[in-house]
Structure 1
Amino acid sequence: MSHYLEGAPLQIHARVASELSGFGLKDDLADTLIIPITQSGTTTDTNRAVAMARERGAHIISIVNRRQSDITAKSSGVFYTSDGRDIEMSVASTKAFYAQIVAGQVLALFFAQ
């Protein structure tokens, strides 16, 4: 995503959820947008990091395949990839990976405007 936003007045950082929830959160995240990417929306580390960030005022737009998963309730907005059956959980697939990549690029292009 950062490629499309090059030159924009934004800072972009990629973080693993387990690292973010443990050490990477400032006290005030009101000026921060977090975009968690998850297949199932039920991963404990990701949900914990999102909950902690939201408590600190961060805005959350999740990229997720599974509708009505845990993470959707914690999100300000949701970008559903809908790349397969919603009941599939923790199944690695090429289509899920590429759907998440494309969703991230679409969001980056939106923010670059």
Structure 2
Amino acid sequence: MDKDRVIGSARVVKGKVKAAAGKATGDAKLEAQGEAEKAAGQVQNAAGSIKDTVRGVAATPQRPDNTAGGRKPAMNRYFLFILIGILAVGAAGAGYLYYQERQDGIIIKTGELSVPIDGK
């Protein structure tokens, strides 16, 4: 079990206590803080759960080649690394294209005419 799951669960409980105390005393600020703490704990708990799942997939022992009709398992650790690498390169490329698009200048639309303004 990942430490984020434990800490996240503790934050959820802490948030529930704060929200209940705020509701009981009529303190809206304390109640809102409790709800925010509870939500943050749920997010942290989910992150820990994802880490546990990834560790479980990466630590799964490989089956011999003679299982499933002689085929290798469909997903292994290297496949996950390659997939993550491809996603990272795609995200970086999309970010760069967005950056370049924003640097070209400004187009002001006035009716049917468009006037480009070079911001450099």
The structure whose residues are more often strand, as a share, is 1
What TM bracket, shorter-length normalisation? Answer: under 0.3
TM-score normalised by the chain length of structure 2 = 0.22
Report which of the two structures shows the higher radius of gyration computed on alpha carbons. 2
Higher RCO (CA-CA < 8 Å; seq separation 6+): 1
The structure whose residues are more often helix, as a share, is 2
